[in-house]
Amino acid sequence: MDAGGAMLAETALHKDIMRPGHLACPGCGHAIGVRMILRALGERTVVVIVPSCVAVISGPFPNAAFGVPAFHSAFEIAAPTAAGISSALKIQGIEDVPVVAFAGDGGTFDIGLQSLSGAADRNEDFIYVCMDNEAYMNTGIQVSSATPRFAWTGTSPAGNTRRKKQIMEIMAAHRIPYAATASIGFPEDLTDKVKRAKGIRGTRFLHLLSPCPTGWKMAENMSPIAAAAAVETNIFPLYEILDGLHYTLNYRSQNLPVETYLKMQGRFKHLGEEEIQAIQAETDRAWADLQEKAARRTDDYHF
Ligand SMILES: Cc1ncc(C[n+]2csc(CCOP(=O)(O)OP(=O)(O)O)c2C)c(N)n1
Ligand SMILES: [Mg+2]
């Protein structure tokens, strides 16, 4: 970083917690996402990481890149680990230190789902960020239940036959105080949501779309562009759910055709017109459903 860059990094607005020199691949969405989230949370934060690319990015002690205490836990227990640390801080009278867990889509949608559900059911006090790059990237691009339909991965060489699991609906069903989607292509929205989450107590869940240039088969500079295109095509809308009931749409997209997003990525390059139209129809249906939920009057819900 040059002198100007270093000065900018030190101003109040741009104070970076994450250090340069991390171990992510060039253009990694997770590195961008973690950096933005730590900036928004500030240096009095404790991080929990589980096996995923995030664990690699941080690097080993004593050279870890995160700039805050980071606890490595097992793949399937990001949420209860965060809950335990959060409780331990409170027992010591420390109430103002947020605990944030970073787990991948494999660690959230699949392997950590049971323990996440238990912690959310108890409304444990932590922020959970699912860093969704839509496959098990760290182990070489295997399909997960977050992989979109038709996408190539190493274990879906002819295209994924399953549909992406609806993790936001699963989290909403737990009636947690705060759940939101976010995209590294919309940094202000992401920052706002992290700050909002910080001000709420209980289980807070962020579903962050975090492209992986290697696994999505695109150029290194494409992560934020693809993450923004997912939002602009309604494939990944930006919204919040309060108490599992109140839906708010945070951004009116440009309604671009899904093709705009799909054509950016080599993992979809085998798709024909029929598959593209199937994705368009499914996206339109989900977008209409979401708008309906956001328009619903929820003031009289007092459950
Ligand atoms: C119980 C367990 N199973 C499997 C692994 C091996 N493993 C480590 S990272 C990883 C992939 C993680 O994928 P994801 O959660 O999507 O995170 P990403 O690497 O994509 O960021 C796997 C399978 C492990 N460490 N522990
Ligand atoms: Mg992943």
State residue 248's pLDDT score: 97
Angle at 115 between CA 110 and CA 120, to 5 degrees: 110
Ligand 1 centre to CA of 52 (Å) is 5
Ligand nearest to the CA of 77: 1
Confidence class for position 210, pLDDT limits 50, 70, 90: very high
Share of the chain above pLDDT 90, in %: 89
Angle at 128 between CA 124 and CA 134, to 5 degrees: 145
pLDDT tens digits, residue range 66-76? 999 999 999 99
Q: d(Cα 8, Cα 32) in Å, to the nearest integer?
A: 17
Confidence class for position 5, pLDDT limits 50, 70, 90: low
Give the bridge partners for 127, in sequence order: 100, 204
Overall average pLDDT of the 198-210 stretch: 98
Q: Which amino acid residue places its CA nearest to atom 3 of ligand 1? A: 75
- Given a cut of 80, whether residue 148 has pLDDT beyond it is yes
Share of the chain above pLDDT 70, in %: 94
Q: Which amino acid residue places its CA nearest to atom 1 of ligand 1? A: 75
Residue 248 half-sphere exposure, CB side, CA atoms within 13 Å? 12
Per the CB < 8 A criterion, the answer to whether 109 and 58 are in contact is no
Question: Cis omega before residue 62 (within 30°)?
Answer: yes
Per the CB < 8 A criterion, the answer to whether 159 and 152 are in contact is yes
Quickly tell me which residue has 């002819």 as its tokens: 158
| Strand boundaries in 74-122, DSSP class E | 99-104
Q: Angle 113-121/78-91 helices, nearest 10 degrees?
A: 40
Quickly tell me which residue has 């933005």 as its tokens: 36
Q: d(Cα 291, Cα 286) in Å, to the nearest integer?
A: 9
pLDDT tens digits, residue range 249-301? 999 999 999 999 999 999 999 999 999 999 999 999 999 999 999 999 776 66
pLDDT tens digits, residue range 227-243? 999 999 999 999 999 99
Question: Cis omega before residue 69 (within 30°)?
Answer: no
- Ligand 1 contacts CB of residue 106 (under 6 A): yes
Q: d(Cα 163, Cα 143) in Å, to the nearest integer?
A: 11
- Ligand 1 contacts CB of residue 102 (under 6 A): no
- Ligand 1 contacts CB of residue 112 (under 6 A): no
Ligand 2 centre to CA of 109 (Å) is 10
Instruction: Give the position, in ligand 1's atom list, of the atom nearest the Cα of 135.
Output: 16
Q: d(Cα 189, Cα 36) in Å, to the nearest integer?
A: 11
- Given a cut of 90, whether residue 170 has pLDDT beyond it is yes
Span of 20-24, 242-246, 298-302 with lowest mean pLDDT: 298-302
Ion ligand 2 residue ranges (Cβ < 5 Å): 104-105, 133, 137
